[in-house]
A and B are shown apart, each in its own frame.
Chain A
Amino acid sequence: MDENGVRTLLHGVADLEVPAAGVDLNLAMAGGRRLRRRRTLAAASSALAVVAAVAAFVASTVSASPSATVTPQGRATAAPSVGASPVPMPASAPDRFDPLVPYAAFGWLPSGYTVGGQGTSPASTTRSVQITAANGAGSEIALTVNARNACTFAGRSVTCAGTDGDTLHMEKASVAPEVNGRPAFWASDTQVGGYLLWQYAPGAWASLHVWSRELSPELPPAGERAMLEQTAARIRFGMHTPLRFPFWVHLPAGWTVSTTSFFPDPSGKAGPLLGRTLLGRTLLAGPAAGPAAADLDVWTPIAGNCEGTPDTALDGAPATLRDGSVCAENADGLTVYVSLNLTGPAARQPDSAGALALARKLHLLGGRVSAWTTRPLR
């Protein structure tokens, strides 16, 4: 069978009678608007961080004593400092993480890399913590810390299961230098390229890789390998800093949080994430059958975030109902976006009224971070 034979066969299959379309363009546009909104939020969060970074840099330049070790906000030092020496690995890791308390953090980053800026949004789920640091020149270092038993090995193949069906497949390529005495490998997948994969606790694995505009080779170049090894050795595990949210809410019985996204407080002290207040932005929650049924996204005011003409009110502020979501740009000093997407027979039916009802249950805490809470669910 030659190429023409395959061409004929493929056309023969595809050109059979096509059944009625099961694609819903209204649903696609609703989902597309949500994606666009997320990009807007990420960009706005980045801008907020940049403004605060400049302010903090100016403040530290003006006021710091000659012995001060404060670096520009959110920036890592050029080389690991004494305080960022390799850290002991944990004796054990949990099977499930608490998304409200991100389990891991960068302890050091190469010069120029920032967490929480450049449109990156750290996320914490029950099965993994994902934190990306970007350098503003198109390069990102992505950390994924998996819960115990989330990764399985079959020969050279490695599969790490995330939350809600998200799975990463890699192939082990070669043995890497141990990370703080724990086994490590260079691994790769067909989409991203090379990873440094290491066991940070018995049965628990973490990975680091560099995203860039080009697909990384299976084995990163030597300089990049050294940087990843250095970064991996300083990852902090078992962190206890809870996220602070600008709201609290009573959720239905049996609902749990599956995912959060968060940012380091841009007005906090320097450091990749350590010692900084972590601000929760998005919280996904739901019943066991749909752990991401509700998307509660509350953040500082963002003009132009809500599309459409306001047709209702939330805490006295104009709000827009659209495709199973409600959006208000300035309710009690906050942008509020709530969407509801329950699973089951009604999954494809947008429930804007349900989203509005849920949004009205939110107790909004205003735009001052000092008033935000580490207990968003009560």
Chain B
Amino acid sequence: MTGDKGEAGYVEYVSGRMTALRRTAYLLCQDWHAADDLVQVAVTRLFAHWARARRMENLDAYVRKILVHAFISQRRSAWDRKVVLAGSPPEASAAGHDRESALDVRDALLGVPPRQRATLVLRFYCDLDVEQAAAALGCSAGTVKSQTAKGLAAMRRVLEPTMTSVPSVPSVGGADRG
């Protein structure tokens, strides 16, 4: 980092990606406050490495990696062992069926261990292929495949009964391992 030009570039980059970063973080955390805290951590680390990061060919991938690592590492801390209430309202406004569906999906994601959740978000929201997701997670392609399969199975266990009008399953927060 050299001077304000670098800082201006950082602000421009992060401002342009803020919504995408927050959405990805929200899918990981299922809570907007936690998502913003996660993005705060990620962009802080990005600034610390900005001099090198700004020259990267795929800066978005680097930032995604920081975000996912921050998420997984926070899940390993006592910070995360708070109880998430199944009935808490979504912070974002949504109406009717969309809102109920969002709640169901949120509950389902909360039931997926963090590393598997991160894998699902990278694969199916960020649209990364197996190799790209492996790079972001710092693991092998085989691990991504197995984490994907386990994550999908975990989501099915929660969502498929809900989809057939069975009362929603209570969410499970923390105390999990990916």
Contacts and interface: CB of A to CB of B under 8 A. Distances in A.
Interface residues of A, number: 40
Given A29-B47, A32-B46, A10 B139 contact: no
A16 B90 contact: yes
Interface string A14-26: 1111110111110
B158 to A, nearest CB: 10
Interface stretch (B35-43, B55-63, B165-173): B35-43
Interface in B89-107: 90-94, 98, 101-102, 105-106
B125 A7 contact: yes
B45 A23 contact: no
B47 A32 contact: yes
A3 B152 contact: yes
B27 interface: yes
B155 to A, nearest CB: 6
B94 A32 contact: no
Given A7-B124, A10-B27, A14-B125, A28 B76 contact: no
Chain B interface size, under 10 / 10 to 19 / 20 to 34 / 35 or more = 35 or more
Interface string A320-335: 0000000000000000
Given A7-B125, A18-B23, A31 B47 contact: yes
Contact of B40 (A27, A161, A171, A190): A27
A168 interface: yes
Nearest to B163: A1
Contacts of B77: 165-167
A13 B155 contact: no
A161 B19 contact: no
B144 interface: no
Nearest to B108: A9
A25 B15 contact: yes
Nearest to A8: B124
Given A10-B124, A19-B91, A167-B77, A36 B98 contact: no
B85 interface: no
A168 B22 CA distance: 27
B142 interface: no
A40 to B, nearest CB: 11
Given A6-B120, A10-B125, A21-B18, A168 B36 contact: no
B139 A215 contact: yes
Given A10-B105, A18-B22, A23-B22, A169 B48 contact: no
Nearest to B18: A21
Contacts of A1: 152, 155-156, 159-160
A11 interface: yes
Contact of B36 (A22, A25, A29): A22
Contacts of A36: 1, 48
Interface in B138-161: 138-139, 152, 155-156, 159-160
A167 B76 contact: yes
Nearest to A168: B76
A167 B79 CA distance: 9
Given A1-B159, A18-B22, A32 B50 contact: yes
B163 to A, nearest CB: 8
B76 A191 contact: yes
Given A7-B124, A21-B36, A23-B36, A32 B156 contact: no
Contacts of B27: 10, 13-14
A24 B73 CA distance: 21
Interface string A163-196: 0011111010000000000000000011100000
B72 interface: yes
A316 interface: no
Contacts of B124: 3, 6-7, 10
Given A12-B102, A14-B26, A23-B22, A31 B44 contact: yes
Given A7-B124, A13-B106, A14-B26, A25 B98 contact: no
12 contacts: A3-B124, A9-B101, A14-B23, A14-B27, A18-B19, A18-B26, A23-B40, A31-B44, A31-B47, A33-B48, A35-B44, A191-B73
* Chain A to chain B: the 6 pairs with minimum beta-carbon distance, closest first: A32-B47, A22-B36, A35-B48, A31-B44, A32-B48, A14-B23
Given A6-B120, A18-B19, A165-B78, 15 more contacts: A3-B124, A3-B152, A6-B155, A10-B121, A13-B102, A15-B23, A16-B92, A16-B102, A22-B33, A23-B22, A23-B39, A28-B44, A32-B45, A167-B76, A171-B177
